[in-house]
Structure 1
Amino acid sequence: MARCPPERPALKNVLLVVLSIVLSVAVAEAVVRYIDGYPVLAMPLGNPADGATVSAAQLDRIPLTPGVERQWFFDDPPPLPNRRAVTDEWQRLFRHIEQNPVGGLDFRPPDVFKAWNSAFIGGDPCKHPFLRHAPGQLWVYDPPDGQPTPPYRYLPDVTLPNRLVTNQMGWRGPPIDVPRGERAIRIVFVGASTTLGGPHLPFSYPELVGYWLNLWARSKKLDVRFEALNAGRESIVSTDIAAVVRTEVLPLRPDLVVYYEGG
């Protein structure tokens, strides 16, 4: 029995596939432009939209809570008094790890400036699946409850090469008042990277919240001072955050703990 030669894909099928891909990309581009507020048919695309492109008229359409002044949100806290120059030794160490990554980028430059929980290490750090990529040195601390959570703390009272500034607790932000003021309302924010905020930014959102609350208190002539502290840290999960609250936050007797996690 004679066999017919296998059919080759017809040119029209190839063209159909190409056309489908082009149309799919065009539709996806249009949808993204619409979601981000760009003109769908603009060519070329304009500059990215950011806070500088928002007009005062647009801001005025957002309702304010009674007693709040819009100008407060354009005012920044004073510079951190505990921000210092980074030592040359730390700068060199940061750049060395950055330029010589190991372990598939598991161990990043900021990780060498953390104090690691000895219970999390569990023995020989050279055998730890993550910490074995460290460049031959680690800061370590013994947890007060003997538990492996949270896995690390930031070093206290330092300015790091990634521009993170910590207070005497190893939390991001200005120094904590000791002793605590009699009229101080202490609020501690806990969470992961969204609470910590980008270290390159001059302030995290808890610092801004505390500053704005104090502006409000002064406007109302209230004899109180709000103290907003940031106990957030990157790459931790809910059980780690609970341990932070238990072992670090509660001993400071906060009046309020704000938990925020997620993007």
Structure 2
Amino acid sequence: MAVHAHPDDESSKGAATTARYAAEGVEVLVVTCTGGERGDVLNPSFEVPEGHEFDSVEGRRAVRRLEMADAAAALGVRQTWLGFVDSGLPEGDPLPPLPDGCFALQPLEEASAPLVELVRRFRPHVMTTYDPSGGYPHPDHIKCHEVAYEAYHAAGDASRYVTDGGAEPWTPRKLYYNHGFSMERLRAVHEAMQGAGLESPFGDWIESRAAREIPEREATTRVHAADYFDRRDAALVAHASQIDPEGFFFAVPRDIEADVWPTEEFELADARVPTELPEDDLFAGLREEGR
């Protein structure tokens, strides 16, 4: 079970890994906490699908649901919605208040309850989500971490989140945090592109003071997923309102990426089975148990 904040997050964070496991026969469920209703258009070539509009919260939700369905099909995974409304990314100084009723403002137990029920029904052995920072300071990403962390720890406790007719308690075995574009990865790809005589998109960022001051979290688990980069790319392109097919995500030639950095990284946050670090499999320790 991969828990994400918005449609498109599942395609930019751990996507090739989910595609690999799905192709290998693992049942993979992507949970999307919000509808992405307040996401701006980030693709200059985006055209609103015929019969739709993108100027209202409802219109954006509908379009992004179409995009999400195409992305899930590209990855070969199941997907469901938690049902909350995008909080938007506040900008300015001081920051404006978040919109009433948005995901980030929901009390923790109210926001976690539907995910706890999903965990109990789907019965995942492994869950993935974001680290406590959210990966970047979007309020929905931080809330997504809080909700997934709560559900991981609470779903197996029969005394918590009790509902009439609810599913039986279920205890997931492992919790991971996604690692996106680590500085180690960016530097390796940057140097490889320079070595190939190509212009790297990461040079200014790597040399910036802001980049040097970002603390690096430890990657404990590296899953080889280069064979599924094409599925990841297809899923990214499916989010046409958000992903520019000529933009950042596609700036590195795939042969260079596969040669220099063929893995996706995760951080083991909790394990209820014995496992040895580093790992190369999210199911390490579970396969030995025959699960």
Which TM class, normalised by the smaller chain length?
Answer: under 0.3
Which structure is higher in RCO with an 8 Å CA cutoff and minimum separation 6?
2
Q: Which has the larger radius of gyration?
A: 1
State TM-score, norm by structure 1: 0.26
